[in-house]
Structure 1
Amino acid sequence: MKRIFIAPDPGRLRLRNATRAVIGIGVAVAVSELYGLSLVASITGGLAALLALFTVADASVRAQRITTALLPVAGFPVLAFATALHDVPAARDAAFVAVVFCGVYARRWGARGNALGIFAFMSLFVTQFLHAVPAQLPELYAAIGLSLLAAGAVRFLLWPIERRIPPAAAPTGLPGTGLARPTTRQAFQAAAACSLALAVGQVLSEERWYWAVGTVWWIFVNTASRGETLVRGFRRVLGTVTGVVVGFLVAIPLQGAPVPSAALIAVCVFGIFYTAAVSYSWMMLAVTVLASLLYGLLGVLDLSLLVLRLAETGVGAVCAALTVALVLPVTTHATNDAWIQRALQCVHAATAEAAARLAGDVEADPAPHAAELELLFGRAKVALAPLVHPLSPFRARMARARQVIELLEACVGEVRGLVSVAADPAASRDAALADACWRVTAAVEALTAGERRLAAVAHETPRPMDGGEPLMYLYNLEKKLTELASPLGRPLRSQSADS
């Protein structure tokens, strides 16, 4: 719990996004209710608004608007197809696998492909969750359309939150062709895992098997390696276990009472958005409690249903783990090395811009690079998470991975301070600061130049800089970069096994 509230939140972006999400989804559901739509339609509309606010993450506001407008294009045909397949299990199961494959494959087209793929899958998922039938399609379409308009109005008109830089590229944006391309490889992995989850999940329950498939789907979102997928599966199960306990204590006693259920649903929505970037386990706790409250509103909630959700989640996590271990596996090392290198290159870009600014170039601006570095550092931590997990048996790699995370985090802090210095008009005429910036860029170039240069950098000692706090930022940054040469000079993997 402490981690959630002490985690950095520059500009209170997580807080503002979470608050805006509650308002946007609340307005969307209210509009559906005012139009006299059914509870099933209102829930569908609320989910559409949540997905629009949660998954649309294009670099520009204009691109976000286009992606939001395209969501029905991806969702409506799938929704219509899915409602007609309730009584045709074989075709329904084949449709699930096909949509999973296409949805994951679509991530090769970046943030828009990712958002449209998720919306298509969830359109299929919601028909199972709510047992929607073809006769309900008109009001389901109306609810989704109204909800997307309402959520879009809140997001783009009432409370726009500007992003100064594009989000860090999805892990599937790493290079490759054919089966070496992460999106293609993950599409086959996810389809195989969902096929297995379908089979095993239906043994447990012919009605709620879709929770196992949904677990597989969301485990594969924003993961790129075998280790990341295993850790994400573990955290999903942990969050679901905790959520089931909370659901038993909170949702079951409410028995679907509308007012308190609506209030707690708002709390859960806030929790999903506020914790998503910090803790997947806490986010899953909020998702599980939210699902419990929705089942309560639908009048089908009991303890056996919560236990079944936990069992299906476990099935999905195991199926995902088996698949990433056996079907076209991607090692953790290949992924974490790529993200570390991108973070270092961002340090270089930020420092070079700062150097130019301090040399008198008023057009140079290191701030966007510094903000991008924050995102890349977060992504590098995700890539390294399997190596620092408490259950990891590789202690030497764990120690080196922790050292890399600590040093990268220190670099982020020093770059943040450097940006504030470069923005100071008085500092922009300081030749000593500009010279120190060029020394830091040289250190980054050495770190990304290969193992031979790394070995040399590991024995270098930065020169102390006299000149007060501004120069200390650069001295500390150069020092941390030099220290990174030691753990980066030895692969974060063993000779005998690799995550």
Structure 2
Amino acid sequence: MLAAIATLLCALAIDPEPGPAVLAVVLCISLSRSQLDRDRRGRIEAAIVLPAVGLVAVGVGALLRLAPWIGALVFIAGMFLSIWLRRFGPMARRAGSLIALPFVALLSTPYIPATRVSPALAPLMPVVVALLALLWVGALHALARRARFLGPAQMPERQSPAPARTASSLRPMASTRMAIQMAAALAVSFVIGYAFFAERWSWIVLTAFIVNSGSRGRLDVAYKSVLRVLGAAAGTVIALSLSMQIGSHGQIAVAQILVAIFLGVWLRPLGYAWWALFVTIALALLQGFTGSPAPHMLWPRLEEIAIGAVIGVASAWLVLPVRSTAALRRRLADALAALADALDPATAIRTPDKFVAAVADVEQMRPAFNASRFVTRRFQPMQPADWLDTLAACRDPAIALIDKGETPGSVRRAVGAARKSMREPQEILPALQNLHRSMTE
């Protein structure tokens, strides 16, 4: 938040209009979450690529205003490319993240035609703001780490590459499927938005993008869509109340927007609904700067969010769907493979690091499966969420065995049986339970 405020003040000093200031906050939050500044090479990459991508985003933004259908096609192509690039490794994944940032910012940054900067500088403002955001985020992250307020930066993925997968076709195809799903969702969102919501299409497109971003399968998309709509509904009511009490703009509204963003970032690890709620409040208050009355603006926004969520879910379930249970089994197999390597007596240096990281990847899928278990437990006694619970129970005993250097034969056999069970879903839970018993006996 300090980086966002510092970049916002710099942007306002250059151009007092709200557009660049909003872009400054959006880019700072996105850059902080992406950790693109986590090492020197990442900062250099971002400093080179962000200005170029920012200029492209300026062109796309102009197309969306002057030639909407062409702009929509270019926007869809850019978002498709940012996701499809993930299949080519960590470097391409980082490039995809950089490509996506300005395109997403276009959806949440209101267009203010009037500007107080020279006509020559106006098109370069996104580039200037992007570099300022990178400067402040990098500087404050480095200062916080030096003061031990933050832990060390995570090492880039390229320094610890994942083992090649030849046995499964799910992972190589997942990025392509998600890219196609995103393109389909955005295409439908643009068509519906332009046809029926000419002045407010961006909220439909933004919601469809959010619920399909970082998809871990169709169940994950449905789960995020429900949270997005519920959070947006609560945020709309709160924002409407705040706007009616103090008005839709001014210094108090700016302070409320910053507080809402802070709370959203702070509470996001506890659940996506918190992020949806507070970001909806911030965006709803932000739209007040366009001069629209709050009651006339907020309720239609909720309708458009619901439409975007439905489009996102339909795309994930109908267009080359990725089954969430299949994705979960792939991650479980990765965790068990890392555990087998750590327990193998032939391994020279045995540490639990890879196994712990693999379990953390599995845990990312827990919220959606926990929600599914809560809804369907009555009709389906055995749930994939039970696999997550059992693997989580195995974590600490496994770490203790690895740290002690013990490799009991019964445990290694149980690990092998659990790995084989990934082919038959009905055998997974008994195999994982047997693994837990073998490690705790």
**TM-score greater than 0.5 by the shorter chain:** yes
1:86 is paired with a residue whose SS is: helix
Q: Is the contact made by 2:370 and 2:385 (CA closer than 8 Å) also made in structure 1?
A: no
Partner of 1:119: 101
Partner of residue 275 from structure 1, selected from 248, 251, 267: 267
The answer to whether 1:139 aligns with 2:125 is: yes
Partner of 1:224: 216
In the TM superposition, residue 291 of structure 1 has moved relative to its aligned partner by 0.7
- Cα distance, 1:132–1:336 mapped onto 2, change above 3 Å: farther
Query: In the alignment, residue 437 of structure 2 is paired with which amino acid?
Result: K
The answer to whether 1:71 aligns with 2:50 is: yes
Partner of residue 353 from structure 2, selected from 368, 371, 374: 368
Give the Cα separation in 2 of the matches to 1:367 and 1:272: 33
Partner of 2:18: 39
Give the Cα separation in 2 of the matches to 1:460 and 1:256: 55
- Cα distance, 1:299–1:350 mapped onto 2, change above 3 Å: farther
Partner of 1:207: 199
In the TM superposition, residue 154 of structure 1 has moved relative to its aligned partner by 1.3
Query: Deviation digits for residues 131-182 of structure 1, max 9, x if unmatched?
Result: 5589532333322322221122112344464245667999xx9887799711
Q: Is the contact made by 2:227 and 2:273 (CA closer than 8 Å) also made in structure 1?
A: yes
- Cα distance, 1:365–1:255 mapped onto 2, change above 3 Å: farther
Q: Which is further off, 322-331 or 266-275?
A: 266-275
Give the Cα separation in 1 of the matches to 2:429 and 2:17: 66
Q: Is the contact made by 1:460 and 1:482 (CA closer than 8 Å) also made in structure 2?
A: no
2:85 is paired with a residue whose SS is: helix
Partner of 1:103: 82
Give the Cα separation in 1 of the matches to 2:310 and 2:21: 33
The answer to whether 1:440 aligns with 2:414 is: no
Q: Is the contact made by 2:220 and 2:324 (CA closer than 8 Å) also made in structure 1?
A: yes
- Cα distance, 1:386–1:275 mapped onto 2, change above 3 Å: same
Query: In the alignment, residue 444 of structure 1 is paired with which amino acid?
Result: V
1:290 is paired with a residue whose SS is: helix
1:222 is paired with a residue whose SS is: coil
Q: Which is further off, 158-167 or 280-289?
A: 158-167
Give the Cα separation in 2 of the matches to 1:461 and 1:155: 42
1:266 is paired with a residue whose SS is: helix
Q: 1:76-87, aligned counterparts within 5 Å? A: 76-87=55-66
Give the Cα separation in 2 of the matches to 1:33 and 1:461: 59
Give the Cα separation in 1 of the matches to 2:291 and 2:165: 45
The answer to whether 1:396 aligns with 2:380 is: yes
In the TM superposition, residue 85 of structure 1 has moved relative to its aligned partner by 4.1
Query: In the alignment, residue 479 of structure 1 is paired with which amino acid?
Result: R
Query: In the alignment, residue 106 of structure 1 is paired with which amino acid?
Result: L
In the TM superposition, residue 209 of structure 1 has moved relative to its aligned partner by 0.5
Give the Cα separation in 2 of the matches to 1:460 and 1:215: 38
Give the Cα separation in 2 of the matches to 1:481 and 1:366: 17
- Cα distance, 1:451–1:108 mapped onto 2, change above 3 Å: closer
In the TM superposition, residue 113 of structure 1 has moved relative to its aligned partner by 3.6
Partner of 1:162: 152
Query: In the alignment, residue 31 of structure 2 is paired with which amino acid?
Result: A
In the TM superposition, residue 124 of structure 1 has moved relative to its aligned partner by 3.7
Give the Cα separation in 1 of the matches to 2:334 and 2:98: 26
1:224 is paired with a residue whose SS is: coil
Q: Is the contact made by 1:336 and 1:380 (CA closer than 8 Å) also made in structure 2?
A: yes
Query: In the alignment, residue 445 of structure 1 is paired with which amino acid?
Result: G
Q: Is the contact made by 1:103 and 1:121 (CA closer than 8 Å) also made in structure 2?
A: no
Q: 1:301-380, aligned counterparts within 5 Å? A: 302-349=294-341, 364=349, 366=351, 368-369=353-354, 371-380=356-365
2:270 is paired with a residue whose SS is: coil
In the TM superposition, residue 313 of structure 1 has moved relative to its aligned partner by 1.0
The answer to whether 1:406 aligns with 2:389 is: yes
Partner of residue 92 from structure 1, selected from 61, 71, 82: 71
Q: Is the contact made by 2:18 and 2:112 (CA closer than 8 Å) also made in structure 1?
A: no
Query: In the alignment, residue 187 of structure 2 is paired with which amino acid?
Result: S
Q: 1:282-297, aligned counterparts within 5 Å? A: 282-297=274-289
Give the Cα separation in 2 of the matches to 1:200 and 1:455: 45
Give the Cα separation in 1 of the matches to 2:172 and 2:432: 37
In the TM superposition, residue 327 of structure 1 has moved relative to its aligned partner by 1.8
Query: In the alignment, residue 99 of structure 1 is paired with which amino acid?
Result: G
Give the Cα separation in 1 of the matches to 2:132 and 2:107: 20
In the TM superposition, residue 204 of structure 1 has moved relative to its aligned partner by 3.9
2:333 is paired with a residue whose SS is: helix
Count of matched residue pairs: 424
Query: In the alignment, residue 64 of structure 1 is paired with which amino acid?
Result: G
Partner of residue 479 from structure 1, selected from 423, 437, 441: 437
Give the Cα separation in 1 of the matches to 2:165 and 2:209: 20
Query: In the alignment, residue 186 of structure 2 is paired with which amino acid?
Result: C
Give the Cα separation in 2 of the matches to 1:480 and 1:256: 62
In the TM superposition, residue 385 of structure 1 has moved relative to its aligned partner by 4.9
Q: Is the contact made by 2:19 and 2:112 (CA closer than 8 Å) also made in structure 1?
A: no
In the TM superposition, residue 211 of structure 1 has moved relative to its aligned partner by 0.9
Identity of aligned residues (%): 22
Gaps of 5+ in 1: 1-21, 423-432, 463-476, 484-499
In the TM superposition, residue 367 of structure 1 has moved relative to its aligned partner by 5.3
Give the Cα separation in 2 of the matches to 1:142 and 1:192: 33
Gaps of 5+ in 2: none
Give the Cα separation in 2 of the matches to 1:101 and 1:333: 24
Give the Cα separation in 1 of the matches to 2:4 and 2:235: 21
Query: Deviation digits for residues 417-436 of structure 1, max 9, x if unmatched?
Result: 668xx3xxxxxxxxxx4335
Query: In the alignment, residue 447 of structure 1 is paired with which amino acid?
Result: A
Query: In the alignment, residue 147 of structure 1 is paired with which amino acid?
Result: A
1:207 is paired with a residue whose SS is: coil
Partner of 1:51: 30
